[in-house]
Copies of this chain bind each other. A is one copy, B any other.
């Protein structure tokens, strides 16, 4: 099975961290195809960058999906998820969507840790868009740019653990979701220090992508997720033009 990891960030470092995290979660025999944005924001961290990156997600999806069995939006705002899910003939899951829905099956309400106070409203709106806001026990944000830098992050690790414990003790969180594509490997490293499941979106995302690929639910033939084409695009990348010429089989 081939799973496409779509990272609309223009940052190979992020993609590398995503792949490292995803490797720990895939089944034997699953192959990862990780692609990085080629235009738009270096790292998505604002509403306007996220809006631009949705286009990038479409572009990467159209270009690299052929031959893949499922795709994961490897940006924790699940950038362009609805569009890619509609456009492609394969299952597409958002990394944060997958973490939240997987957490639901572990029971209880979820604590969410974001990196940067500024982006918290974007995550909140994302959770609301999934209809899952009543499943959230509480929110915390950590101000740190360490995740995007190489090397050990002992201090950040301690802060993440302390933040998770605070969500558990004060807000009654029964699971904790760590947002951010660069956090892909962190949850498994820190899990031993956290007394409830600590989830990250990349691990949950590739697992749910594998599940959906195996399940072979059909592509909708009607509704807002049916193939969009044929539709006319202007000045778009050939891969996108192609994707909108012929609907997926």
Q: A238: shortest Cβ distance to chain B, in Å?
A: 13
The closest CB in chain B to the CB of A56 belongs to B55
Q: Is the CB–CB distance between B83 and A232 below 8 Å?
A: no
Q: Does A84 contact B (CB under 8 A)?
A: yes
Chain B residues near A122 (CB-CB < 8 A)? 224
Give, as a whole number of angstroms, the nearest-CB distance from A194 to chain B. Answer: 8
A163 to chain B: which residues have CB within 8 Å? none
Interface residues of A in 195-249 (CB under 8 A from B): 195-197, 199, 203-204, 207-208, 210-212, 214-215, 217-218, 220-226, 228, 231-236, 240, 244
Question: Hey, what's the 0/1 contact readout for A82-99 against B, CB within 8 Å counting as 1?
Answer: 111111000101000110
Most chain-B CB neighbours within 10 Å: which of A39, A57, A98, A217?
Answer: A217
A residues apposed to B, CB below 8 Å: 10, 25, 27, 37-42, 45-52, 54-58, 80, 82-87, 91, 93, 97-98, 101-102, 104-109, 117-122, 125, 128-135, 168, 172-175, 191, 195-197, 199, 203-204, 207-208, 210-212, 214-215, 217-218, 220-226, 228, 231-236, 240, 244
Contact of A172 with B120 at beta-carbon distance under 8 Å, contacts A106-B217, A128-B134, A131-B134 already known: yes
Partner of A234, one of B42, B125, B175: B42
